[in-house]
Structure 1
């Protein structure tokens, strides 16, 4: 229960393309960095591969619309039917397409049509969508599944343990928080494999160690994960 509560914490540092660990995803990240208006990008891979991280990194500091399963279909359809005399976003990001309802899928289908219609005009925008499988393996309406492969498609590979370690060290140092090797080993062995959840753990450890006036050690990590008062605060 305590671990589950901790995983709900959002990392405090905003994802950016500059602080994204590349690993085996150099081509995908290069495509993300170079994506221009009028282009579309579909990113897919297993849970924990960094789809959402990369999506948020791409829209940072841009005029963007972000869509996920919490966005109602009417809101998505409003983006797809925006009057041409109104300025739209530079980039529209759609996360976890595989979890969307039939109504949301229909709205994203309309959004793809709008993207193509405007792709060669001054109102062109870039469209980025994430999912857990390759386009033709998705359990979606057929016309939407086809559209996922209309432009650029990249599979994201999960980071190796060494790459996760590198990412955690860099994230912690940006917080001014050096972590001992044994703490890093424990995190990678006993905690979540998802890099964002590992970042959230670093943030929580930073706050907890300050509140206890103690150096971060493995016993302190274990203590924090059983401290219900802290986790529920």
Structure 2
């Protein structure tokens, strides 16, 4: 008979205080000190470097100060309309904007300038390399642009251990080594995998180990990366 895992509580919401900067201290400090409205901010880097975390942190900072925020993602349905009482408008995943969304994003920039609203955006590529219309690329590159770097192995380990401490779990070194060797070193992906494994371990009444991880992936495959791991086991 399996146990029913009891939720330990959601992970803390992304904010500027729980972001692990690693080599991205300049971007973090800029957002912490940003006086709104100011020049646009654009963050770019590979998946897992913390772009969305920082954008959410800036949004949370504004909301904590009683300001309203508009958030747009590449998959957000159109139309996109800027509200004049917003203090910040965010555009995430710029590399995936459709032609119609590019038009909407450009219009947001124009309206934000008219109403002195702060703009912050992010994408996987620097502005010059984005597959976007020229006038939108120019707007994204006009202000402060920060290239985000992934965490080092030591920093990723520290982040996983911190989450383990929050859950009251000691992560064995061999499990940490396995995670960093067999999976993408994307902190977001690793945290989701850790959450799955913790839930599975609670249901099975087992400690977190490499064999338990392999068994979970065999019984509950969750994607291409998991399938690769099962084959390599």
- TM-score of the pair, normalised by structure 2: 0.82
Task: Report the counterpart of residue 95 of structure 2 in structure 1.
Answer: 98
How far apart in 1 are the matches of 2:222 and 2:46? 28
Task: Report the counterpart of residue 37 of structure 1 in structure 2.
Answer: 36
The answer to whether structure 1 residue 138 and structure 2 residue 138 are counterparts is no
How far apart in 2 are the matches of 1:22 and 1:159? 8
How far apart in 2 are the matches of 1:162 and 1:105? 38
Structure 2 stretches of 5 or more lacking a match?
1-9, 224-233
Q: What does 1:51-200 align with in structure 2 at a 5 Å threshold?
A: 51-60=51-60, 62=63, 63-74=68-79, 76=80, 78-79=81-82, 82=83, 84=84, 87-88=85-86, 90-119=87-116, 125-200=117-192
Structure 1 stretches of 5 or more lacking a match?
1-10, 120-124
How far apart in 2 are the matches of 1:137 and 1:60? 29
Alignment partner of 2:185: what SS?
coil
Alignment partner of 1:222: what SS?
helix
How far 1:231 moved relative to its partner? 6.1
How far apart in 1 are the matches of 2:32 and 2:170? 29
How far 1:178 moved relative to its partner? 2.1
Root-mean-square deviation over aligned CA pairs: 2.0
The answer to whether structure 1 residue 207 and structure 2 residue 199 are counterparts is yes
Alignment partner of 2:48: what SS?
coil
Where relative contact order (Cα < 8 A, 6+ residues apart) is larger, the structure is 1
How far apart in 2 are the matches of 1:171 and 1:200? 11
The answer to whether structure 1 residue 16 and structure 2 residue 15 are counterparts is yes
- TM-score of the pair, normalised by structure 1: 0.82
Q: Deviations over 1:119-139 (max 9, x none)?
A: 2xxxxx321100122222222
